[in-house]
Amino acid sequence: MKINKKITTDLANFIKMRYGVDIATTQEKYPELFKAFLRMQFWLDELKMAEYFASNENAEEDGTYWTQYTKWGQRKTGEPLLQKIRDAQDLSPQIPLKILDVGCGDNEWKTHLGAKVTGIDPYNDKADFKIDIQSYAKEKTDNTSGEIIGPFDICLVLGSVNFGDQATMETQIAECVRLTKPGGKLYFRFNPGITHSTEQAQWIDFFYWTEEKINQFAKQMNCDVDEISWDHPEDTELRNGNRLYSEWTKSQTFNKVK
């Protein structure tokens, strides 16, 4: 179960203040209470994520939906990445690449690359499939062999695997890798723990990504790290700060997270 540290801390503090109960001590004596507490924090997290990341035409005015404040021509996950993908397609022009965009938001990569992109997002109606990465991977898994049906050449994970605890990150990234062909590419934009500047982001639990953690996760899943760098040049002024860019190549074998 995904754990939101911000919400669990706030809920636990409220329960202790109002009822004098330390929720952390209830796990053994009152397991159903503890389970209910975890379920409540999970669904509150889902609610806040849905509010913040659902499509909204009045996002700037309402402040309820995160709007990217980035420079498309300068960031590595913008125009340079688009050109990389086009160059890869030119190597086999007769065979369209299969590209998965995880957490696609408004599905903007589809506007650049067309039908070769499949956009999934659990919160945004503009996605091709309104679904989370775990559920999508389950749907794409052959029940007999356990293998992915129709894996992708490229997996874009541009800011979507940034929310929750380490166990959640491991599960989500493992599914991204599993959905990618051996030898395929994964492109990431990782948040180094920066909370967005809008008031509505206060309950979003941003994972603190570092270069060390990126290398650790890639090694754990038997992927080669081709690059780790800043998404924008380091001196670029950005409203919500810079992000880490990483490019991985999936090895021929895959280590599943246990």
Q: Quick one: average pLDDT of 237-256? A: 82
Q: What is the pLDDT of residue 252?
A: 75
Q: Quick one: average pLDDT of 74-78? A: 91
The verdict on pTM exceeding 0.85 is yes
Q: Is the pLDDT of residue 47 over 90?
A: yes
Say if residue 39 is exposed, middle or buried (CB neighbours under 10 Å; 0-12, 13-18, 19+): exposed
Model confidence band, residue 256 (pLDDT cutoffs 50, 70, 90): low
- What percentage of the chain exceeds 70 in pLDDT? 91
Report the DSSP pairing between strands 117-120 and 152-158. unpaired
Which stretches of the chain are DSSP H helices?
5-19, 31-53, 59-62, 79-91, 108-113, 133-139, 166-178, 211-220
CA proximity to 163, closest of 195, 205, 194 = 205
Per-residue pLDDT reduced to its tens digit, 98-113: 999 999 988 999 999 9
Q: Quick one: average pLDDT of 225-231? A: 96
> Which tokens hold the place of 237?
């002024």
Q: Is the pLDDT of residue 195 over 80?
A: yes
Q: Is the pLDDT of residue 123 over 50?
A: yes
Q: Quick one: average pLDDT of 26-33? A: 95
Sheet holding 244-250, edge to edge: 117-120, 99-102, 152-158, 180-190, 244-250, 223-230
Model confidence band, residue 191 (pLDDT cutoffs 50, 70, 90): very high
Q: Is the pLDDT of residue 258 over 50?
A: no
Q: What is the pLDDT of residue 57?
A: 63
Identify residue 238 by its one-letter amino acid code: L
Q: What is the pLDDT of residue 155?
A: 98
**Angle CA(131)–CA(86)–CA(221) in degrees, nearest 5?**
50
CA proximity to 68, closest of 198, 186, 199, 203 = 198
Q: Is the pLDDT of residue 68 over 80?
A: no
Say if residue 25 is exposed, middle or buried (CB neighbours under 10 Å; 0-12, 13-18, 19+): exposed
Q: Quick one: average pLDDT of 7-22? A: 97
pLDDT top residue among 51 and 189: 189
Model confidence band, residue 120 (pLDDT cutoffs 50, 70, 90): very high
> Which tokens hold the place of 127?
């996605």
Write the CB contacts of 66 (distance below 8 Å, at least 6 apart in sequence): 52, 53, 59, 196, 198, 201
Q: What is the pLDDT of residue 197?
A: 74
Q: What is the pLDDT of residue 198?
A: 75
Q: Quick one: average pLDDT of 226-238? A: 89
Q: Alpha carbon 22 to chain centroid distance? A: 32
Q: Alpha carbon 135 to chain centroid distance? A: 14
Model confidence band, residue 66 (pLDDT cutoffs 50, 70, 90): low
